[in-house]
Amino acid sequence: MKPSDYEKSILAGKFGEEAKKILEVMLKIYEINQAEGFIEVKEVMLASTQNMSIGGELGMEFLIRLAASGIRFRAKTITDPVSIDLEAWKALGIPGEYARKQKKSVEALVQLGAVPTWTCTPYLAGSIPRYGDHLAFVETSCVAFANSYFGARTNREMDISALASAITGKTPNYGLHLPDKREGQLRVKIEAPLTTTSDYDALGNYIGKKAGTQIPVFQNMDPNVSTQAVMQLGAALATTGAVALFHIAGITPDIVLDPHKYGQKSITREIAFTEADYQQAYRALNTTEKREVDFVAIGCPHYTFDKIREIASFLEGQKVKAGVTVWVCTSETVRNMARLSGEVQKIEKTGAKVVVDTCMVLAPVKLLGFHNMATDSAKGQFYCSGFGLGVRFGSTEKCLKAALTGKWEE
């Protein structure tokens, strides 16, 4: 690689130690992966919780020093969710000191030139990749969705490698940037009927464990599957497996454009997802026997407008059970639309909250004192179980019923 004059100046320390380190890491990644040069990226997505769940306070201070160095992002850089609702954090019970720290990271990112999207579904907020675009994304559900649904190209970046792409506008050309590395390897025949979005979570959770690093190719999927369901599938696959790309026969663009290359040529294994596997997936996703629920958290990945409307029409005119906290997570962009159409008001009249900028995984839910959660997201289930919460997993409708009664219906 021949660094440009600008990159040479960074490596020489013109913008301080932080920027220099970031570029050195990028060069190491290039070397280790024997990349085929560098390519320009159309968009970068950064992790935004440096001060909380990822790097602790050191991460926050690193970002602040980087912003103070005068360096600015050269690529369009969007941001994944943070650990608080940036406006309504007090109403969620987030301690002031915690919010203050998160806001410092947010300020540093904006100063560096980031677009304040604070969502894992930036494509619902105006950042829509085109087929073949090269990206450098961090958030795993968004990586899987951008690669699969849009046919854009990104590896699963780390915080630091994505920062390097934001600063230079480039990424090493290896892995999923290369068409030959995107061929499907594991054929999955869907034999169980899938109806709710959580059914796609169950599928993704189950197949992610089987796939490991292989690229799944789904066959027999409902051609009318909703965008929300594919988002849920990708998030679940990327949680239990290192899945950054999947193909769906007849639906996702790589395989539609070249069915042989992406759906046949490199297949080494074939499995079925049967009714019995479906039942097993649901059993594994329920990690408590308790029926009492004190936290209902839905909207992972951040919900689409259609899903918000579905929830509003289900909840309208009812009341959330006293003692149950309900979060419906989405992006600020989607919430604004849903406010204009009156859906947010219908939801919040019931006592539920439409929460933006954050989610049940990135917010400090344990600190907020919740014990038993209901969710329709396999990714939410995975992480919140890890935080020590008992989790009930099921359809959105089941979660909303639990919100109204305080009890999980068997």
Nearest distance from residue 330's CB to ligand F3S, in Å? 9
DSSP string, 139-177: SHHHHHHHHHHS--B--B--HHHHHHHHHHSEEE--GGG
Token pair for residue 115?
A: 């677009």
Is 308 a binder of ligand F3S (CB under 6 A)? no
Is 301 a binder of ligand F3S (CB under 6 A)? yes
**Binding residue (CB under 6 A) for ligand F3S from 235, 311, 315, 334:** 235
Is 241 a binder of ligand F3S (CB under 6 A)? no
Task: Return the number of the residue (138 or 221) whose C-beta is nearest ligand F3S.
Answer: 138
Is 204 a binder of ligand F3S (CB under 6 A)? no
Site for ligand F3S in 135-164 (CB under 6 A): 139, 141
Task: Return the number of the residue (248 or 300) whose C-beta is nearest ligand F3S.
Answer: 300
Taking the C-alpha atoms of residue 104 and residue 107, their distance in angstroms, rounded to an integer, is 5
The continuous run of DSSP H or E covering 309 comes out as helix 305-315
**Binding residue (CB under 6 A) for ligand F3S from 329, 391, 400, 404:** 329
Task: Return the number of the residue (204 or 216) whose C-beta is nearest ligand F3S.
Answer: 204
Contacting range for ligand F3S; rule: CB under 6 A; set: 70-78, 278-286, 295-303, 349-357: 295-303
Task: Return the number of the residue (331 or 372) whose C-beta is nearest ligand F3S.
Answer: 331
Nearest distance from residue 340's CB to ligand F3S, in Å? 23
The pattern of x and - marking residues 40 through 79 that bind ligand F3S according to CB under 6 A reads ----------------------------------------
Nearest distance from residue 121's CB to ligand F3S, in Å? 7
Task: Return the number of the residue (120 or 217) whose C-beta is nearest ligand F3S.
Answer: 120
HSE (side-chain half, CA atoms, 13 Å) at 152: 23
Taking the C-alpha atoms of residue 21 and residue 13, their distance in angstroms, rounded to an integer, is 9
Nearest distance from residue 329's CB to ligand F3S, in Å? 6
* DSSP-derived secondary structure letter, 115: B
**Distances, alpha carbon 191 to alpha carbons 60, 166, 234, 250, in Å:** 47, 43, 19, 17
Token pair for residue 313?
A: 């029409």
* DSSP-derived secondary structure letter, 70: T
The greatest distance separating any two alpha carbons of the chain, rounded to the nearest whole angstrom, comes to 64
Q: What share of the chain is helix, strand, coil (3-state, %, to 5)?
A: 45, 15, 40
Find the Cα–Cα–Cα–Cα dihedral 207, 200, 396, 193, rounded to 10°. Answer: -110
Task: Return the number of the residue (142 or 255) whose C-beta is nearest ligand F3S.
Answer: 142
Question: How many residues bind to ligand F3S according to rule CB under 6 A?
Answer: 14
The pattern of x and - marking residues 78 through 107 that bind ligand F3S according to CB under 6 A reads --xx--------------------------
Token pair for residue 153?
A: 């190209």
Site for ligand F3S in 342-381 (CB under 6 A): 359, 361-362, 379
Is 328 a binder of ligand F3S (CB under 6 A)? no
Find the Cα–Cα–Cα–Cα dihedral 162, 381, 120, 194, rounded to 10°. Answer: 120
Is 112:71 a contact under the CB 8 Å cutoff? Answer: yes
Taking the C-alpha atoms of residue 316 and residue 91, their distance in angstroms, rounded to an integer, is 22
Nearest distance from residue 45's CB to ligand F3S, in Å? 11
Nearest distance from residue 187's CB to ligand F3S, in Å? 26
Task: Return the number of the residue (23 or 362) whose C-beta is nearest ligand F3S.
Answer: 362
Which amino acid does the sequence have at 387?
F
Nearest 5°: the CA angle 311, 316, 320 is 85
Which amino acid does the sequence have at 236?
A
* Binding region for ligand F3S (CB under 6 A): 80-81, 120, 139, 141, 235, 300-302, 329, 359, 361-362, 379
